[in-house]
Chain A
Amino acid sequence: MERPVAIELKNISKYFFGKVIANKNVNMTLYKGEILSLLGENGSGKTTLMNMISGIYTPDEGQIFVNGKEVVIRSPKDAFDHKIGMIHQHFKLVDVFTAAQNIVLGLKDGGVYNQKSINARVSAIAEKYGFNIDPKKKIYDMSVSEKQTVEIIKVLYRGADILILDEPTAVLTPQETEKLFAILRRMREDGKSIIIITHKLNEVLAISDRVSILRKGEYVGTVNTSETNAKELTEMMVGKKVELKINRPKTQFDKPLLEIRNLSINSDNGSRAIDDVSFYIRGGEILGVAGIEGCGQKELCEAIAGLRKIVGGQIMHKGESLIGLSAKQISEKGVSMSFIPEDRLGMGLAPSFSITDNMMLKNYGEAKGPFVDRVTARKRANDLIKRLEIVTPSSETPVRRLSGGNVQKVLVGREIESGPNVIVTAYPVRGLDINSSYAIYDILNEEKLKGTGILFIGEDLDVMLALCDKIMVLCHGKVMGIVHAEKTTKEELGLMMTGSLDLTEEKKDKRFGIAKDSNLTEEQWKKSSEEENDDRQ
């Protein structure tokens, strides 16, 4: 029996710069009432392909059929006319407008703007699929998941039957992801067709009916989700056999390298970002930090690196206080920090600089005299390119022209190359595909074996459970508990992230984050704490 087809792509090709292949002869079918996952590494052309369906790009070759009829989609409006809607990775909302106002933005039906009826219609859609939203709430008051809800309703409001979601789960907690998936399933029952892009294999397996795979812009194939597994999918995606296991090498834990006690930090707007946090990292240990984005991770990183003033508490490195030292002095002590923000390039790298110039970002000052030493930097750049297999035409290529994975290798590589004893790294695999992610995990593990202490701030709980030795969970800047990765579960971590479970409350007698074999005695801690207080007054 023929299933009704929602979208069919025939031999779609797209070239950039006139010669770079983004998509080549892609054939794909989306049936009505199904959820199709689109899988592929970074740069495999997933987003480009979806952009062609939603009218952002036009294909250079090939045909698009919607409901069996050939169509031409020249603009997002054309796409909506064919009932196709895309939810982009980066939200496009007006902050000062309400949810409902954002949803109707750009619509011209009837020319009458009746806030009340719009609100009612938005609520009706929300109720139908089980969204939780207040149409009158302003965007700036919303959490990331609420904003995403607005984007989805925006598309539904325009009557879309075909929804495309570009990495919707990248910004969600496991609980929120579950909720989203429930909604998507309800939509499927309602006869909607959905394409979802995600890097996370477990999600692909959980939500989709079928999986289509792209590799380097070319269509590899489509498989039924029920008949496949993570390993097979990865192999199709990468094009060769891969080992899908994150190692957690056993190491001899040394004395605590970095000890933090009762640390409090304010965020830029003056609210408390980190509240009375204590923890420690030993040499040869990876301590994971889990938490919903924006609950103090960035502030914590910056405080350790000496880039942000702290409100109270202590940061001890091998028994010596780091407080009051400049960022440079701290990095000279061997504490390195790399923070990968959402846009990847904004911090830590200068996008239009060459790899060479980026290599000397942190130690250009060491050269003698008034001039920078590019010769040494170039040598280090070339060494790094070789060691980490960075794909680049040369060491003089601007980093913004490298792919995401290679950019991150440059960044993480530079930090490691400086020979640190403590590495603070936030979201080092953000947005990376499986292959590149594993390369980064390997680098971190290598450092761990050398006896470096690593603070790993991450988003993917599965990864953290496999990679980290211990995991500290933050919620609104407070520590919810520090657990051994081997002895906890994803569910427990999820509950702690949302603040529903607070181990520090439940196990009051256990002093979380206080090392028994601290570099300092309790008296010394007390004394140092008093001194700090005196300084502050």
Chain B
Amino acid sequence: MTGNKTVHEPLFHVVKREDMSVKKKLLIYAAAFVGGLLLVSIFCALCSEDTDNPFEMFTSMFDGVFGTQRRFWVFLRDGALLLGVSLALLPAFRMKFWNLGANGQIVISCLVGYALMKWGKESGVSNAVVVILMIICCVGAGIIWAAIPAVFKAFFKTNETLFTLMLNYIAEGLVTVMITIWAPKGSGSLSPITEYGLPSIINDQFLPILVVTLLTVVMFFYLNKSKHGYELAVVGESENTAKYAGMNVKFITIRTLILSGAICGLIGLLLVGGINHSVNPTSHAGMGFTAIMTSWLANFNPLVTIVTSFLIIFISLGMGQVRQDFGFYNDAIANVALGIVYFFIIACHFFINYRLVFRSSKRPDEDSFIMNRKAPEKKPETEIKETTEEKQGGNA
């Protein structure tokens, strides 16, 4: 530089990056996860009257998840169920159809399942008949609940986020109504029907794990290799492009949501037929919403979704144990903890997508590049778009 003043730029720029290696990404995620847990542990120690050692939280968490064989099975089962719901959302989300109605789709399936079991018990038909009917009807119920907003979106361009969200409340409301009809007196909850339902293989936890494992494999190929998966991704990218390529956007939208609903229905079936044996308005355990986060964090990649789903179940089961060990009276603190970890994981995306360049940092020249600590890869010049306006923050 020949005596030029450089100048008066803001303290730092936020610069977009697109070239981070997978290894580095994983490292950032891991750091965020651990960092979040550390903060939570300090927070828990401060709030607890029983203990002052923040590290006890970690032992407590591990105990809660891996402490007994049963706990571990439950961890696998809950992780699998959440993964299943996430898999249900993936095709819709890849199509940029924001299906926020998984809760409703699951609950309506549970309701139908319970009705069939109740009918079975009253009429005394064999369990096999009931199970076959349950499979068909539960999946069918999920499909209907998901297809309604899809049809409206396809033909009348309604907003699917509001529509699917509202259907959640309708489904939950329907369950409440049915409970008052089926159990007009007493506790206000339905008695479990254990005589009917899905067969127990090895133990109650194994079936959902098996089903979701198979589902994951199928969905991986469906989303990444199949024509359907390709089509829905094109629709998600640009409806005009899909239309210009001769695709039937309406049909693809509805077909994809049928799949999404069918998987939710399947999860509902597993819940009512194998785990709860009963139904209530929160049978879904909030998984429909949690799955939005797991699939989003996984960037809609089915394999990464496995990791995010199990991580979240790990925290939530772990915190359950912490709550007991630390003597918290309600689960509010556990929820705060979850929130903190989520926040850390979401916030770390900023460092994956952007980098801060400070005013004082040296400018790159032809052969050395400080930020990367290694020579920049030569990119073809023409690759640079003239309007590389992407997120030049810090100066607006």
Report A's interface with B, CB cutoff 8 A: 10-11, 13, 15-22, 42-48, 51, 56-63, 72, 74-75, 216, 305-307, 326-328, 331, 337, 339, 341, 345-353, 357, 360-362, 364-365, 367, 370-372, 391-393, 401-406
User: In the assembled complex, how far is the CB of residue B226 from the closest CB belonging to chain A, in whole angstroms?
Assistant: 5
If the complex has contacts A18-B15, A62-B4, are A364 and B386 also in contact, measured as CB distance less than 8 A? no
Stretch at the interface among B60-68, B153-161, B387-395: B387-395
A-B contact count (CB 8 A): 161
Residues of B within 8 A of A (CB): 1, 4-10, 15-19, 221, 225-228, 230-231, 233-234, 237-238, 240-241, 243-246, 355, 357, 363-364, 369, 371-372, 376, 379-389, 392, 395-396
Q: In chain B, what residue has the closest Cβ to A15?
A: B364
Q: How far is the CA of A17 from the CA of B226 in the complex (A)?
A: 35
Tell me if A63 and B4 are in contact (CB < 8 A): yes
Check if B227 sits within 8 Å of A367, measured CB to CB: yes
Q: Which residues of the other chain, A, contact B18 by a CB distance below 8 angstroms?
A: 17, 401
With A18-B371, A19-B364, A364-B227 given, is the CB distance from A339 to B244 under 8 Å?
A: yes
CB atoms of B386 and A44 under 8 A apart:
yes
Within the assembled complex, what's the spacing in Å between the Cα atoms of A370 and B228?
Answer: 8
B383 near A392 (CB under 8 angstroms)?
A: yes
Closest chain A residue to B370, Cβ basis: A18
A360 to B10, CA, bound (A): 45
Query: With A43-B381, A61-B363 in contact, is A22–B388 under 8 Å at CB?
Result: yes
Chain A residues near B4 (CB, 8 Å)?
10-11, 61-63
Do A20 and B379 touch across chains, with their CB atoms under 8 A apart? yes
In the complex, which residues of chain A have a beta carbon less than 8 angstroms from the beta carbon of B228? 370
For A352, give its contact among B7, B237, B376 (CB under 8 Å).
B237
Q: Is chain B's interface secondary structure helix, strand, loop, or mixed overall?
A: loop
Whether A361 and B383, one on each chain, are in contact in the complex, defined by CB atoms closer than 8 angstroms, is: no
Q: With contacts A43-B381, A372-B227, A406-B382 known, is A307 near B243, CB below 8 A? A: yes
Q: How far is the CA of A20 from the CA of B392 in the complex (A)?
A: 13
Instruction: Enumerate the 8 nearest inter-chain pairs by beta-carbon distance, A residue then B residue, closest first.
Output: A327-B246, A350-B237, A72-B8, A391-B382, A328-B246, A347-B240, A16-B388, A361-B245
Q: Is the CB of B380 within 8 A of A393?
A: yes
Collect the chain B residues with CB atoms within 8 Å of residue A328's CB.
246
Q: Are A350 and B241 in contact (CB under 8 A)?
A: yes
What are 20 residue pairs bridging A and B, where the CB atoms are less than 8 Å apart in the complex? A15-B364, A16-B15, A18-B371, A47-B387, A48-B387, A61-B1, A63-B5, A74-B395, A75-B396, A307-B244, A328-B246, A346-B241, A347-B241, A348-B241, A350-B233, A351-B238, A353-B237, A364-B230, A370-B228, A393-B383
Q: Which residues of the partner chain B approach A62 to less than 8 Å between Cβ atoms?
A: 4, 6
Q: Is the CB of B238 within 8 A of A43?
A: no
Query: A residues within 8 A CB of B369?
Result: 18-19
Knowing A353-B233, A361-B234, A367-B227, the reply to whether A17 touches B15 (Cβ < 8 A) is yes
Provide the bound-state CA to CA distance between A432 and B364, in Å: 30
CB pair A43–B380 under 8 Å, yes or no, is no
Could you say which residues of chain A place their CB within 8 Å of the CB of B376? 19
Q: A22-B388, A341-B240 are in contact. List 6 more A-B contacts (CB 8 A).
A: A16-B384, A47-B386, A60-B6, A307-B244, A391-B382, A406-B382
Kindly provide the distance from the CB of B104 to the nearest chain A CB, expressed in whole angstroms.
Answer: 30
Complex formed: what's the CA distance from A19 to B1 in Å?
A: 17
Q: Which residue of B lies closest to A351 (CB)?
A: B237
Max chain A Cβ within 10 angstroms of own Cβ: one of B228, B231, B372, B388: B388
Contact A402 B381 (CB under 8 A): no
- Distance (Å) between the CB of B357 and the closest chain A CB? 6
8 Å CB contact of B6 from A44, A61, A370: A61
Q: What DSSP secondary structure best describes chain A's contact surface?
A: loop
CB neighbours (8 Å) of A48 from chain B are 386-388
CB neighbours (8 Å) of B395 from chain A are 57-58, 74-75
Residues of A within 8 A of B244 (CB): 305, 307, 327, 337, 339, 347-348
With beta carbons under 8 angstroms apart, the residue of B7, B225, B371, B382 that contacts A372 is B225
Tell me, in angstroms, the Cα distance from A48 to B396 when the chains sit together.
Answer: 15
Contact A57 B392 (CB under 8 A): yes
Chain B residues with Cβ below 8 Å from A60 are 6, 9, 363
Q: A20 to B379: give the CA distance in the assembly, Å.
A: 8
Most buried by A among B1, B7, B15: B7
Residues of A within 8 A of B381 (CB): 43, 216
Is there an interface contact between A403 and B363, defined as CB atoms closer than 8 Å?
no
- Chain A residues with Cβ below 8 Å from B9 are 58-60
B227/A370 in contact, CB under 8 A: yes
User: Is B385 touching A393 in the complex (CB atoms < 8 A)?
Assistant: no
| B-side contacts of A19, CB under 8 Å | 364, 369, 371-372, 376
Shortest A83–chain B CB gap in Å is 19
- Which of A18, A22, A365 has a CB less than 8 Å from the CB of B227? A365
CB distance from A217 to the nearest CB of B (A): 8
A165 vs chain B, min Cβ distance (A)? 16
Q: How close is A450's CB to chain B, nearest CB, in angstroms?
A: 24
Check B384–A43 contact: CB distance below 8 A: yes
Looking at the assembled complex, report how far the CB atom of B389 sits from the nearest CB atom of chain A, in whole angstroms. 8
Q: How far is the CA of A353 from the CA of B231 in the complex (A)?
A: 12
Report whether B246 and A326 are in contact in the complex, using a CB–CB cutoff of 8 Å: yes
Question: When the two chains form their complex, are residues B386 and A346 in contact, meaning their CB atoms are under 8 A apart?
Answer: no
A403 touches B385 (CB 8 A): yes
User: How many angstroms between the C-alpha atoms of A293 and B16 in the bound complex?
Assistant: 35
**Interchain CA distance A339-B233 in the complex, whole Å:** 21
Chain B residues with Cβ below 8 Å from A361 are 234, 241, 245
Tell me which of A19, A357, A361 has the highest count of chain B C-beta atoms within 10 A of its own C-beta.
A19
Given A15-B363, A331-B246, also A401-B382 (CB < 8 A): no
Expressed in whole angstroms, the Cα–Cα distance for A31 and B238 within the complex equals 46
| Cα distance, A522 to B241, chains bound together (Å) | 38
A10 vs B245: C-alpha distance when bound (angstroms): 49
Residues from chain B with Cβ under 8 Å of A21 in the complex: 384
- A-chain residues with CB within 8 Å of residue B246 when the two chains form the complex: 306-307, 326-328, 331, 362
Asked if A372 contacts B15 (CB within 8 A), the reply is: no
- Complex alpha-carbon distance, A332 and B146, angstroms: 35
Residues of A within 8 A of B19 (CB): 17
Q: Which residue of A lies closest to B227 (CB)?
A: A372
A15 to B386, CA, bound (A): 12
The distance in angstroms between the C-alpha atoms of A16 and B19, with both chains bound, is 13
Chain B residue with the shortest CB-CB distance to A328: B246
Q: Which residues of the other chain, A, contact B6 by a CB distance below 8 angstroms?
A: 60-62
Closest to A301 in B: B244
Judge whether B230 and A357 touch: CB under 8 Å.
yes
Instruction: List residues of chain B with CB within 8 A of the CB of A392.
Output: 380, 383
Query: Considering only CB atoms, which chain A residue lies closest to B246 in the complex?
Result: A327
| Across-interface contacts of A57 in B (CB, < 8 A) | 392, 395
| Chain B residues in 8 Å Cβ range of A348 | 241, 244-245
